[in-house]
């Protein structure tokens, strides 16, 4: 095999591995826990937040790191596509004092069950956390916070 052909084959193999790699941020791999919670919306209207995290505490919004996607609708109306920067807002909370808003992306909710369990996926881009793309099945947890 000639040097040129060997180099070409090696280059193709390297490019194939790079293109096939997972572009999801290593910090967010394994975010197996999720929840959805009632939130205070604009003018004290209904809203929900979906939390995604590597621990149950993070999925409850109690311990970073976690992702929070906020949409100002009742949980019963959450099915559909929610683009960030228009219909939804997403944040990545990397530690207790540091968060960043998503630059782009969306949340797709495929179903809301009778017990308000929400299923879907997110595809979000953050400035520092990078690309976060994952499925979720989030159990509803009531929020005791009073709005207004």
Q: Are strands 130-141 and 33-40 parallel, antiparallel or unpaired?
A: parallel
Residue 45 resides in a domain: yes
pLDDT at 36 over 70: yes
Residue 1 resides in a domain: no
Residue 4 resides in a domain: no
Residue-wise pLDDT for 63-97, tens only, equals 899 999 999 999 999 999 999 988 999 999 999 99
Range of the domain at 41: 24-141
Model's pTM, two decimal places?
0.79
Residue whose tokens read 């009632």: 38
Residue 16 resides in a domain: no
Residue-wise pLDDT for 9-34, tens only, equals 443 343 333 333 444 444 445 688 99
Q: What is the mean pLDDT of the chain?
A: 83
Based on the structure, what is the number of domains in the chain? 1
- Give the span between the Cα atoms of 142 and 121, in whole angstroms: 21
Residue 146 resides in a domain: no
* pLDDT band per the 50, 70, 90 thresholds, residue 110: very high
Residue 70 resides in a domain: yes
Residue 60 resides in a domain: yes
Residue whose tokens read 């197996």: 32
Residue 7 resides in a domain: no
Q: What are the start-end ranges of the E strands in 25-97?
A: 33-40, 46-53, 66-71, 80-83, 88-95
Q: Are strands 98-101 and 88-95 parallel, antiparallel or unpaired?
A: antiparallel
């Amino acid at each position: 095999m000639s040097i040129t052909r060997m180099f070409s084959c090696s280059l193709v193999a390297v490019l194939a591995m790079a293109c096939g790699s997972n572009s999801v941020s290593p910090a967010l791999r394994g975010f197996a826990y999720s929840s959805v919670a009632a939130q205070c919306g604009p003018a004290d209207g209904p809203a929900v937040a979906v939390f995604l995290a590597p621990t149950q505490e993070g999925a409850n919004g109690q311990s970073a790191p976690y992702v929070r996607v906020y949409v100002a609708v009742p949980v019963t109306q959450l099915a559909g596509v929610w683009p960030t920067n228009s219909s939804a807002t997403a944040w990545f909370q990397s530690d207790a004092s540091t968060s960043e808003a998503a630059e782009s992306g969306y949340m797709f909710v495929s179903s809301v069950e009778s017990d308000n369990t929400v299923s879907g996926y997110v595809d979000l881009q953050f400035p520092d956390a990078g690309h976060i793309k994952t499925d979720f099945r989030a159990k509803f947890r009531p929020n005791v916070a009073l709005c207004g």
